[in-house]
């Protein structure tokens, strides 16, 4: 299994990073380019997952109504919820599936970046200013801030108080703050090469979420939620 992991993910990603580094002459810029390349390749999965979660946020009132209407019959409740998801062509598990898909890639990149000081192919600096083999508070802070905006953008606008929200909506709003806290806790003990990857992929997600939100708003106003691509 280890040999398969190295052959399919670790070595190809390392080779691409070395190629980018040799071409660009800066490891930080090479990491940014590698991250963007990964996000472009996985764009259909990321877009689908983010879009589905955004639609589910907007469907929260319908979901709550179905849960309340069938609160004494779990089987009917499940059928009603699935009917809502089918109508709007969303998969409530798409977010979790996306996480599962990312785990092997993250593990491969983690192995590469954790050993960045020990790889003879690299001078581990970003713009000649940041040692990517060590933690960097600026990168950590920017990554956490970007994570916050990403979470904020993924929420549907509402005038309801926190007490009036569904359990799903409350959890989503709590994650806005929990996400950055976890980001800081995670990156604080890792080389800033990992943080730079995290920051870049979060920025990509912010841009993607802005595009999704604009399209969703237009389609919801037109009553064509199930036609969003």
Is the CB of residue 200 less than 8 Å from the CB of residue 40? no
Quote the pLDDT of residue 226. 47
CA distance 42 to 13: 14
E strand segments, the chain: 125-126, 130-131
- Low-confidence stretches of the chain (pLDDT beneath 50): 225-229
Quote the pLDDT of residue 168. 61
Quote the pLDDT of residue 32. 95
Quote the pLDDT of residue 99. 74
CA distances from 42 to 47, 52, 99, 102 (A): 9, 16, 12, 9
Quote the pLDDT of residue 76. 76
Quote the pLDDT of residue 200. 94
Phi and psi torsions of 199, nearest 5°:
-60, -45
Quote the pLDDT of residue 169. 63
Quote the pLDDT of residue 165. 60
With a threshold of 0.75, does the pTM exceed it?
Answer: yes
Sign of the four-CA dihedral 183, 186, 189, 192: negative
Is the CB of residue 212 less than 8 Å from the CB of residue 54? yes
Average pLDDT, the chain: 80
Quote the pLDDT of residue 144. 93
Quote the pLDDT of residue 120. 67
- State both tokens at 15: 């080779």
Quote the pLDDT of residue 37. 93
> Domain residues of the chain, as ranges?
2-227
**Collapsing DSSP states into helix, strand and coil, what is residue 130?**
strand
């Amino acid at each position: 299994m280890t040999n398969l992991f190295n052959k399919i993910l670790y070595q190809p990603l390392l080779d691409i990073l070395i190629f980018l580094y040799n071409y660009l002459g800066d490891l930080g810029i090479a990491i940014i380019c590698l991250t963007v390349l990964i996000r472009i390749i996985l764009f259909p999965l990321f877009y689908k997952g983010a879009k589905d979660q955004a639609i589910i946020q907007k469907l929260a009132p319908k979901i709550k109504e179905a849960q309340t209407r069938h609160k004494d019959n779990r089987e009917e409740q499940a059928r009603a919820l699935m009917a809502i998801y089918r109508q709007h062509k969303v998969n409530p598990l798409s977010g979790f599936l996306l996480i599962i898909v990312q785990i092997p890639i993250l593990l491969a990149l983690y192995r590469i970046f954790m050993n960045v000081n020990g790889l003879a192919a690299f001078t581990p600096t970003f713009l000649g200013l940041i040692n990517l083999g060590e933690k960097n508070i600026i990168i950590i802070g920017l990554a956490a801030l970007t994570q916050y905006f990403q979470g904020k953008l993924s929420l549907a606008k509402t005038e309801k108080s926190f007490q009036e929200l569904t359990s799903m909506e409350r959890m989503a709003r709590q994650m806005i703050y929990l996400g950055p806290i976890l980001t800081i806790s995670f990156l604080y003990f890792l080389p800033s090469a990992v943080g730079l990857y995290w920051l870049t992929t979060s920025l990509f997600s912010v841009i993607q979420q802005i595009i999704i939100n604009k399209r969703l708003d237009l389609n919801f106003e037109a009553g064509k939620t199930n036609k969003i691509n």
